[in-house]
Homo-oligomer: A and B are copies of this chain.
Amino acid sequence: MKKTIYDVAREANVSIATVSKVINNTGRIGEKTRQRVLQVMKELDYQPSLVASALTGKSTYSIGLLIPDLANPFFAELARSIEDRGHELGYSIVMCSTDYRPEKESKYISLLKQKSVDGFILASGFQNDAVIRDLLNLKIPIAVLARDVSTVSVDTVTVDDFIGGYNATQHLLDLGHQQIGAIQLDLEVGRERTRGYRHALQENGLEYDEKYVLFGPSSVEGGKQMGLKMLQAAERPTAIFAGNDLVAIGIIQAARELGLSIPDDVSVVGYDNTILAAISNPPLTTVAQPFHDMGRQVMDLLIEEIKGEKKGKKRVVMLPELCVRESTKRIRK
């Protein structure tokens, strides 16, 4: 049978209240009793039940993480950094991959609410503000990652996608490209990056041309399909700004299949700077997101919120950084 606080109390000849106090370092306990209790706890290998203590209104020390897809290297790295920071702070992470599906998102949230997690990190791409508002109304702490929820007052960590798109495009422009395509994610982040792309274009006196812009899923296969489509068009671009590294790699595969060389015939910029970018062939020029800091930041924000140490909400915006490798090149005459 598992040991309970009663076992310890009996063995140490004290009341359960006393044991509880030494466990939690509350109230005043004589040094001798404290030592005796500690001793007995050790002897019995007693571990207080967190579910019992949670029932009395204390924390469960677990937090729910909703993320699109653990199998995507970017999110895996992000999840890892969140997990690490969480554990440092004494919290366990319950992982939920949502596949960008609203139903899954709602389902997991309601499940984890029943489990009384102390809070949520919403790193899921999709989010109808309704679920966020719902959580907020219930006073359940949340922190939102990588998604700007401008209409709700909530702790947020984002990377400026507009700048990311702008920088990627500007880099291509600097290399002399004039026909620049964009194959972006069919998600909020994709639109925002596309805004940056558009802005850079216009700043350089170039038209935003819809035939050069495609939206699709976050996958190598998706990138390849869209890449084929764009590269086989009558006027093909000399450079493409991809939604993320996965998509960029798909585009490279498409180019290869069409006998086009990267970066000689077409330059490609990725996004996220995952391990894929470093090992792809050629190595990918990509927009790096500081996932390590991002994970740490959201976690810290959330914990502050949980501990009630905060007055208002915070909105942390980090900046992406262009990481130039070999998939982009000055355009040939």
B-side contacts of A282, CB under 8 Å: 281
A55 to B48, alpha carbons, bound, how many Å? 13
Establish whether residues B115 and A92, one from each chain, have CB atoms under 8 Å apart when the complex forms.
Answer: yes
* Cβ-based interface call for A234 (8 A): no
A6-14, A75-83, A200-208: which lies at the B interface? Answer: A75-83
Q: Which 6 A-B pairs have the closest CB atoms?
A: A281-B281, A76-B76, A70-B80, A71-B80, A50-B114, A95-B95
Establish whether residues A47 and B275, one from each chain, have CB atoms under 8 Å apart when the complex forms.
Answer: no
A24-32, A105-113, A153-161, A210-218: which lies at the B interface? Answer: A105-113
B-side contacts of A110, CB under 8 Å: 47
* Complex: chain B residue closest to A115, CB-CB: B50
B-side contacts of A130, CB under 8 Å: none
Q: What's the minimum C-beta distance from A228 to chain B, rounded to whole angstroms? A: 17
Interface residue ranges, A against B (CB under 8 Å):
2, 47-52, 54-55, 60-62, 69-71, 73, 76-77, 79-80, 83-84, 87, 92-97, 108, 110-116, 138, 220, 249, 275-276, 278-282
B-side contacts of A249, CB under 8 Å: 279
Establish whether residues B95 and A112, one from each chain, have CB atoms under 8 Å apart when the complex forms.
Answer: no
26 interchain pairs (CB within 8 A)?
A2-B138, A48-B114, A49-B114, A50-B114, A51-B51, A51-B55, A51-B60, A52-B55, A55-B55, A62-B115, A70-B70, A70-B79, A70-B83, A71-B77, A71-B80, A73-B275, A76-B76, A80-B97, A83-B96, A92-B115, A94-B94, A94-B95, A275-B276, A276-B276, A276-B279, A280-B280
Establish whether residues A92 and B111, one from each chain, have CB atoms under 8 Å apart when the complex forms.
Answer: yes
A249 to B77, alpha carbons, bound, how many Å? 19
Establish whether residues B84 and A97, one from each chain, have CB atoms under 8 Å apart when the complex forms.
Answer: yes
A111 to B89, alpha carbons, bound, how many Å? 13
Q: What's the minimum C-beta distance from A75 to chain B, rounded to whole angstroms? A: 8
Q: Assuming A51-B55, A62-B94, what are 10 further A-B pairs, CB within 8 angstroms?
A: A49-B116, A50-B115, A51-B60, A69-B80, A70-B76, A70-B79, A71-B73, A71-B77, A92-B112, A280-B281
A79 to B97, alpha carbons, bound, how many Å? 10
Q: What's the minimum C-beta distance from A86 to chain B, rounded to whole angstroms? A: 9
B-side contacts of A278, CB under 8 Å: 220
Establish whether residues A50 and B94, one from each chain, have CB atoms under 8 Å apart when the complex forms.
Answer: no
A61 to B94, alpha carbons, bound, how many Å? 12
Q: Contacts A70-B76, A114-B49, A276-B276; is A93 near B95 (CB within 8 Å)?
A: yes
A113 to B45, alpha carbons, bound, how many Å? 12
A328 to B76, alpha carbons, bound, how many Å? 30
B-side contacts of A69, CB under 8 Å: 80
